[in-house]
Amino acid sequence: MDLGLGGRGYLLTGASRGLGFATARALVDDGARVLVSSRSRESVDAAVASLGGAPAAYGLAADLADPTAAAQLVEAAGSALGHVDGVLVSVGGPAPGTVLDTAEDAWRSAVDSVLLGTIRLVKAVIPVLGEGAAIGLVLSSSVRQPIGHLAISNGLRPGLAMTAKALADELGPRGIRVFGLLPGTIATDRITDIETASGDAEAMRARTEAGIPLRRVGRPEEFGKVAAFALSPAASYVTGTMIAVDGGITRAL
């Protein structure tokens, strides 16, 4: 299938590794051009080099918790790519903890980066998007069911999902699509770190896989290909929806 990505330009945050990078890889492999971002300049430079560098890939280090970052990212993407046809917003997972044990400052910090950082970037990029553009938010299966010991994610991700649906209503008349992606357990560095911290990575992986209908964790490229399709013109009638990429683990509809 031709996804129609040739020559299109995409801005991706949280994309120096993990799910964001896997999406950038899929986009570039199908002919798109990307500007990738994360907080670390070294990670961004490494990602850009891995993607082949200019003219296929560019980068900018930025922290979405910084109120000035959104405008900087949109300006850099427009300058490097010539035009922005879509954006994938991925923000690092909030600190773990239970509702009662998580400090208020941790909640405030997550609201500023995960919630407000996402909204600031979306508001900044909308003026440069034309008909046929797409906005994707990388969320979590916590949109549909809570995840143990991830109270902040359980609180903020569902709110962002409803924000995406509201944006789909607002931007639909302009031909701009908005959707969310709900990854389950994908074999990223973050998951590896969590497994290692458990003290028995193999046992934790086995327990996780036993609860997934496909009996395995996902691969980053499996998520990246779904995200690239959803951002592409081939998904031109997909908006206002949440797309699970979770091996079937989410029990809610």
Backbone angles phi, psi at 198, to 5 degrees: -70, -20
Query: Higher model confidence: residue 77 or residue 94?
Result: 77
Query: Higher model confidence: residue 4 or residue 95?
Result: 4
- Helix then strand count (H, E) for the chain reads 9, 7
Region 177-204 average pLDDT = 88
pLDDT at position 199, please?
86
Question: Is the pLDDT assigned to residue 243 strictly greater than 80?
Answer: yes
pLDDT at position 96, please?
86
pLDDT at position 44, please?
98
Parallel, antiparallel, or unpaired: how do β-strands 33-38 and 177-183 relate? unpaired
Give the model confidence (pLDDT) of 63-76 as tens digits.
999 999 999 999 99
18 membership: H or E segment, kind and range: helix 18-29
| CA-based nearest residue to 63, from 89, 47, 40 | 40
- Which domains, and CATH codes, for the chain? 9-188+221-244 (3.40.50.720)
Average pLDDT of the residues of the chain: 95
Backbone angles phi, psi at 109, to 5 degrees: -60, -40
Q: What is the C-alpha separation between 229 and 141, in angstroms, rounded?
A: 19
Cα 237 from chain centre? 20
Q: What is the C-alpha separation between 250 and 196, in angstroms, rounded?
A: 24
pLDDT band at 246, cuts 50/70/90?
Answer: very high
Region 163-192 average pLDDT = 94
Give the model confidence (pLDDT) of 114-160 as tens digits.
999 999 999 999 999 999 999 999 999 999 999 888 999 999 999 99
pLDDT at position 189, please?
82
- Give yes or no for a contact between 108 and 117, defined as CB atoms under 8 angstroms apart: no
Backbone angles phi, psi at 242, to 5 degrees: -110, 125
pLDDT at position 229, please?
98
Q: What is the pTM of this model?
A: 0.95
pLDDT at position 186, please?
94
Task: Give residue for tokens 């036993």.
Answer: 210
| CA-based nearest residue to 161, from 177, 145, 185, 140 | 140
Residues for the chain: how many in total? 253
- Give yes or no for a contact between 49 and 37, defined as CB atoms under 8 angstroms apart: no
Give the model confidence (pLDDT) of 78-97 as tens digits.
999 999 999 999 987 788 89
pLDDT at position 247, please?
97
Question: Is the pLDDT assigned to residue 28 strictly greater than 80?
Answer: yes
Range name among 116-120, 174-178, 184-188, 196-200 with the lowest pLDDT average:
196-200
Q: What percentage of the chain reaches a pLDDT higher than 90?
A: 87
pLDDT at position 215, please?
96
| CA-based nearest residue to 221, from 51, 6, 46, 18 | 18
Region 56-65 average pLDDT = 96
